[in-house]
């Protein structure tokens, strides 16, 4: 998967327009105390997902891509609204599912006693 890129940032609360954020404040305090290292993004939650359809995904050609997202939230210290502070996007890619064909094994997966179907471990 490609690295995530920042595509949108929200600098203030959409409800009261305050720029004071709870997690951001905690991170600043911990950075000053040298309890954490710089470089992270303050986040109450990070919601990750993708836009794909499992009914269609298996039929797409190898190398096909689909959007993958990460939405980062924080909470407003003035009014308590939880809101997205950053939206990041990347691309997922359809890759080959490598299944080794071993002589004596159907589909490369071992059969278990009493089973006529290949089993996953």
Binding positions for Zn ion, rule: CB under 5 A: 13, 15-16, 18, 76, 78-79, 81
Of 68 and 72, which has the nearer Cβ to Zn ion? 72
Measured between alpha carbons, how far is 105 from 93 in angstroms, rounded to an integer? 29
- To the nearest whole angstrom, how small is the minimum distance from the Cβ of residue 93 to Zn ion? 39
What is the secondary structure of 7-22 as a DSSP string?
EEE--S-TTT----BH
- To the nearest whole angstrom, how small is the minimum distance from the Cβ of residue 15 to Zn ion? 4
Of 66 and 83, which has the nearer Cβ to Zn ion? 83
Of 78 and 89, which has the nearer Cβ to Zn ion? 78
- To the nearest whole angstrom, how small is the minimum distance from the Cβ of residue 26 to Zn ion? 17
3-state secondary structure of 70: strand
- To the nearest whole angstrom, how small is the minimum distance from the Cβ of residue 50 to Zn ion? 30
Of 68 and 76, which has the nearer Cβ to Zn ion? 76
What is the secondary structure of 1-55 as a DSSP string?
-PPPEEEEE--S-TTT----BHHHHHHHHHHHTTSS-TT----SEEEEEE---TT
Measured between alpha carbons, how far is 36 from 110 in angstroms, rounded to an integer? 48
């Amino acid at each position: 998967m490609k690295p995530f890129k920042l595509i949108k940032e929200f600098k203030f609360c959409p409800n009261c327009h305050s720029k004071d954020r709870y997690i951001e404040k905690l991170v600043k305090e911990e950075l000053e105390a040298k309890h954490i290292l710089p470089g992270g993004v303050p986040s109450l939650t990070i919601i990750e997902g993708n836009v794909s359809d499992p009914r269609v995904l298996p039929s797409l050609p190898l190398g096909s891509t689909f959007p993958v997202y990460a939405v980062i939230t924080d909470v407003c210290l003035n009014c308590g609204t939880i809101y997205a502070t950053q939206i990041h996007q990347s691309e997922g890619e359809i890759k080959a599912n490598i299944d080794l064909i071993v002589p004596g094994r159907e589909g490369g997966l071992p059969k278990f006693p009493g089973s006529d179907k290949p089993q996953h471990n």
